[in-house]
A and B are shown apart, each in its own frame.
Chain A
Amino acid sequence: MTSRRQFMGQSAAAASALAFPLVGGAQPKTVKMGVLHPVTGALAYSGQQCREGVMMAIEDINKAGGIKSLGGAKIEALLGDAQSTPQAGAAEVEKMNEAGVSAIVGAFASAICLATTQAAAKYNLPHVVDVGVADQIVERGLKNTFRFGPGYKKCAEVAVANLHVLNTAAGKPARTVMIIHEESLFGTGTANLLARELPGYGYDVKEIVKHANPTRDFNNIVLRMKQVNPDIVIPANYYNEYALLVRTMQQQKVVPKAIYSVLGGAASSYKFVKEFPEAANGIIDCNHWFNPRDKRSLELKKRVEAKGLFFSYEVFMAYTAMRLLGDAIERAKSTDRAAIIDALNKSTFSDHIMPYGTTQFVNGQNMGAQPLMTQVVKGDIKVIIPRDYREVEPIFPLKA
């Protein structure tokens, strides 16, 4: 609500500024940045977390002297609300374009990102995707679209390969798998990838269950689970449903050898671990995660927590996406859209808190992007794989 009103106000201000262009070639004082997320509707929690991450990055960039190659120009955010639907997201892109933004960062959900990147492409408007794991986002040949983080194909491959490593090291106790996923692009796409990869490693995918958002009751799914009795349960869904699913499993006393999530909405969430320490214990997740060896990530975590928020993946993904854009504008030495796109294409951004190394975009995808494997251990989330970032030894299987 407020965001929309603010956005309207800012748009009006921008429109009046455009009507009276400044005379002369003075350096612009600000760089307008479209910050677009689903801050209302079903995805509001994640959207608000993302917005927080972007705003903190803008704050940091501005505090450190703004864009130095533009004479210390400050970044000015134009907030937009995608209202948890692709249509609303695309409409906001139109408004932001009218308002003269230099780039857009957003828009969390895969389905929304598909629409917003496409809408922005019409205006050659650079769009950095902060989360949006569906690979279609970067596979349509859109020149304006860049994704810093990994896609779900990469995540599914890493997850399956690592599951096999863990299982082999433990003497192969696990053989059967049940996948539970949400019904939109993200969950369905991830589940399909997993179902394709797993048999190649000798796993038997016994059952794939799809559910709606929201799902009010997971008893039936857990009853099916009881019948199937899988060694490994793989959930791929958003926070609320994930939490309800794991709680129901606990109630119905279903204890598989591992709960092994791929991009699991709650499995690597501090909020979940705090609220349901018992249910969360031992869960493994293959998800976006920060480099735990980088001190700055822990500082950022403290700052976020000081605001009374959880340091969820949305926050640090959106934060780094904005830092990437800030770096690109710095290199572009211009607010011109084509120049920023060019700078992103050539980006070697490496001063960040993610375990991605030096940035290198190929067709809009950052090639070094990778998920990390985490496990909930004693009320905290620790990295178990890969070894370079390992904080604790993995526990697998959970029960013999």
Chain B
Amino acid sequence: MFDLSILFASVLNGITTGAVYALIALGLTLIYGVLHIINFAHGASLMVALYGVYFLKEQLGIDPYLALPIMVPAMFALGYALQRGVINRASHGKDENILLVTLGLSIILENLALLFFKSDTRNIETAYTLTTVSIGPAMIALPKLVSFVGALVVSAVLLAVMRYTDLGRAIRAVAKEKHGARLMGIDVDHVYAMCFGIGLACLGAAACFLLPAYYVNPLVGSGFVLVAFTIVVLGGMGSFVGALVGGLLIGVVESIGGLYLGESLGQVGIFAIFIAVLLFRPQGLFGARA
């Protein structure tokens, strides 16, 4: 029913969207994999990062891509401080407390944004916002192409850090067995905070890639966080490769579903996959442990 060229464009669009989903899911899966908490504040944190990028552009004229070296460390610092200063203290070592603390954080962040920035939806206009690139018969918006490449690079860096650095080893050790790691002299609280920081740093990067093609308002995060949760479950809780593959897969499923079933019904595919994974492969595509 559809031309192949249109199908091709849809798949391409899905892959580029999926890459950003993957970046958001990476942060979520890292925090889950190590801290074993579901970070409900993930969407709100993405919103904060998007506002950061927005104001850097509007107030200081800094291009969103050039804002990367500012936003990534800034979000890392925010994450580190939040984990050490708020989440860790308020949780008293109980997982259910952490859950509530992150939920509370998301409510506070969203309402602070509503108070200070109003519910106004804001866009930025850059020279390349409406630029498109032809790939075969398809046209793809330049910002989406950049976000795709950027998401892959960030994922690769994150994987390398996890695999080849002492920090990565420490994180993996804490994730596997935190008491054992503590006995080996690893500062577990520090590793927790580093993980939260890295998780939010991923959002900082995602925000820089996202904003040129998207918009920001105080509730913008909720749209992404549901998809990110699905990706984390699909890929396997705590699995990085899973998050990346899952993100791309969900992006394509959403795109093709949208093309054939309409934009409202198209999302059915995502949740059908979600349920199928829970039924037949509860550990996820790349999950080692359930």
> How far apart are B1's CB and chain A's nearest CB, in angstroms?
8
What string of 1s and 0s marks CB contacts (under 8 Å) between B180-219 and chain A?
0000000000000000000000000000000000110111
What's the minimum C-beta distance from B227 to chain A, rounded to whole angstroms? 9
Query: Are A42 and B219 in contact, with the CB atoms below 8 A?
Result: yes
For B224, list chain A residues within 8 Å (CB): 216
Question: Given the complex of chains A and B, what is the CA–CA distance between A353 and B101 in angstroms?
Answer: 50
Known: A211-B264, A212-B264, A253-B132. A240 touches B215 (CB 8 A): yes
The answer to whether residues A211 and B2 also contact, given A48-B118, A217-B13, A253-B132 and a CB cut-off of 8 A, is no
Interface residue ranges of B242-279 to A (CB < 8 Å): 255, 258-259, 262-264, 266-267
Chain A residue contacts of B139, Cβ below 8 A: 251-253
Report yes or no: B13 in contact with A220, Cβ–Cβ below 8 A.
yes
Residues in A neighbouring B258, C-beta threshold 8 A: 217, 220-221
Interchain CA distance A278-B115 in the complex, whole Å: 31
Whether, in the assembled complex, B126 has its beta carbon less than 8 Å from a beta carbon of chain A, the answer is no
Report the minimal beta-carbon distance from A48 to chain B, rounded to whole angstroms.
6
Q: Which chain B residues (98-130) contact chain A, with CB distance < 8 Å?
A: 111, 114-115, 118-121, 123, 125, 129-130
- Stretch from B3-11, B42-50, B63-71, B159-167 forming part of the interface with A: B3-11
Q: How far is the CB of B48 from chain A (nearest CB, A)?
A: 17
Q: In the assembly, what is the distance between CA of A212 and CA of B262, in Å?
A: 10
A residues bordering B, Cβ < 8 Å? 1-2, 39-42, 44-45, 47-48, 183, 209-212, 214-221, 223-224, 226-227, 239-240, 243-244, 247-248, 250-253, 275-276, 278-279
> B13 touching A2 by the CB < 8 A rule?
no
Q: Give A178 Cβ to nearest chain B Cβ, in Å.
A: 13
Q: Is the CB of A220 within 8 A of B141?
A: no
Interchain Cβ contacts under 8 Å between A and B, 25 examples? A1-B111, A1-B114, A40-B111, A40-B119, A41-B219, A42-B219, A44-B218, A44-B219, A45-B118, A48-B119, A214-B223, A216-B17, A216-B223, A219-B13, A220-B259, A223-B2, A223-B6, A223-B10, A240-B215, A243-B121, A243-B215, A251-B130, A251-B132, A251-B139, A252-B139
CA distance A284 to B218 in the complex (A): 30
Of the candidates B125, B220, B263, which one forms a contact with A220 in the assembled complex, judged by CB atoms under 8 Å apart? B263
Residues of B within 8 A of A (CB): 2-3, 6, 9-10, 13, 17, 111, 114-115, 118-121, 123, 125, 129-130, 132, 139, 141, 214-215, 217-220, 223-224, 255, 258-259, 262-264, 266-267
Q: Is the CB of A209 within 8 A of B263?
A: yes
Assembly CA distance A215 to B217 (angstroms): 14
Known pairs A2-B115, A248-B141, A279-B130; list 17 more (Cβ under 8 Å).
A1-B115, A40-B119, A42-B219, A44-B219, A45-B118, A47-B119, A48-B119, A212-B264, A219-B9, A220-B258, A223-B2, A227-B3, A243-B215, A244-B215, A251-B139, A252-B132, A278-B130
Tell me whether A210 and B262 are in contact in the complex, defined as CB-CB below 8 angstroms, given that A216-B223, A247-B130 are known contacts. yes
Of all A-B residue pairs in the complex, the 7 with the closest CB atoms, nearest first, are: A44-B119, A211-B263, A220-B258, A219-B13, A45-B119, A220-B259, A251-B141
A226-B6 contact given A217-B13, A220-B255, CB 8 Å threshold:
yes
What residues on B are CB-neighbors of A215 within 8 Å? Answer: 263
Could you tell me if A45 and B120 are in contact, using CB atoms closer than 8 angstroms?
yes
A227 touches B2 (CB 8 A): yes
A243 touching B10 in the complex, CB below 8 Å, given contacts A41-B219, A227-B3: no
From residue B145, how far is it (CB to closest CB) to chain A in Å? 12
Residues of chain B with a CB closer than 8 A to A209's CB: 262-263
Cα A371 to Cα B240 in complex, Å, equals: 54
Assembly CA distance A278 to B6 (angstroms): 25
